[in-house]
Chains A and B, each alone.
Chain A
């Protein structure tokens, strides 16, 4: 079964069905030497099931144990190294590939790249592999080897298409470094058209506009970049949390928040729903409130929000959910129902002045002047 690689894939060229990922998708089990553990073995299958359930570290530990018992099994070694990389453990992945570096060249290159050992990574980053080529381009840029970068960029563009956001951004920065700011402007514009969250392109466009005498437009672009940076930072941070623990409700909720802040409402809804479905008793209220807010405010669906709040209340009775439901009803023009919720909440918190005020507001809305 294919491993979800969402967070590790780059935007593909227009019309490309398969996104270009710098991490390889989990391959189907390969044939293994007799006596070795194959990926189709019960152990491997059990580990995969553990991984898919979200218990990624436990799954990795299972496979590491198998590898220790069967050090010659290439398939197991590959799986271990891949999962180590996906769990952001590049040093461990590098060590895992030590015993069989050539057949695991792609993972070795990725590990070295992740460790920032770009010079060492280059020999292992096969430029004919689409994902590795992107990493190779990045490494060349970091190493300041612009001529090689330019040569490879031309080759990769011919494969992936010249409309690939990451490549456009790279090409734009290359032009800037060569002082060709006017040429850089359209490249960054195209990159942003493909990926409005490409911070490098956003910044590059602003700088290029300034350098070509379009100062006001450049400053406006840079101001937009300045607004975006903390939002994209938050998204990146939240995604990492989910990478490590994809079944962890608070992490999913945080990812949803970050996506919402960037206007990625459908993705935000998806992750907020997942968080709601997975939330434990201690997490449910906060997660429910988030999802309900998104449904009401961003999707314009108060009935959906109400259903969520009621479902949350059924799982974990909490006065905050009652209050929020009342607020939603009041805003939706259903004051009588809102009042019922508020009064129920007030019965639990008779000293709460804010609740009293809500009751009064609901009564006032029910009896127009």
Chain B
């Protein structure tokens, strides 16, 4: 073989290996949490991608990060849009006061920002605190669907007086809106005290997704916005010691893109749903009463984003507060939610938790439960006692089937 032919063969070989077969393929749809809802228009997809970039952007001190903060990007806590890792727990603290709960704002409360940019000092938990609570960052996919559920749908699921006598007392967390809260007449109702139903956050403290975003930008990253123009500072080291970047540190377009991004992230895709054991597990999940709070099916209201409008979804939540008993009582009230009351977390995406948590599972609000059995143990003592007790009375095979079902979500 001549030299020229030899060289030609090498380049031909390289051309062959350049084919798609040696390029990494896309994961199966159900293997990853992140991704847009199918059916977005090209313009909507463009805005989604702008929001995706804003979500992934890492902020520096020059961009307005801090001066005190928890993380430097949204993605840093919500890795791959999935459930957060314990290295990113958020700590809140406070103590009972003479006129209600004291969120200790004069000492850096209610949320701890332990990190700081150069020249500043992060906060430390003040010695006088009575309660501190750790919160793991939640999965952020499917939030657009939850935002599109009408308040009346949530109200219809309430049973605050336990009229049916099943021991489950779902109630809404009525929240006083922020001055900038934007209401959606297709979704929101107002009560006689001018309060609205909270639905986002571990204790349903936030009424709208935008409120949640604005809170996280300020309290987690230290970024001021048009709505929240006052920068954070560490009162433990000096009042009004803020950074040197003009406020607002990010513009309304960025907030808008972030909001659109979170609204248009797909709901987690189910896996193995036709597996006979998964089907049996689903039936057992219903039989032992878990579905009284983890409502499998809800229909959204009409929405300005077509793919969110009047859609049947399977979030496995009622978005209501439930008393989970002393074991889960963190002593930290939010709005009308007491220390032991928690919003039913959506279970969709539960089976993908380990995919964003480094291969392990850190479940419940604080990440202290490493598997479903541990989660069920935490359910003993409150409104879920009956369901959890029945779970532990199942045979080992039946428990496996329930777990198999939950892992398929």
Chains A and B bind each other: no
Query: Which A residues lie at the B interface, using CB under 8 A?
Result: none
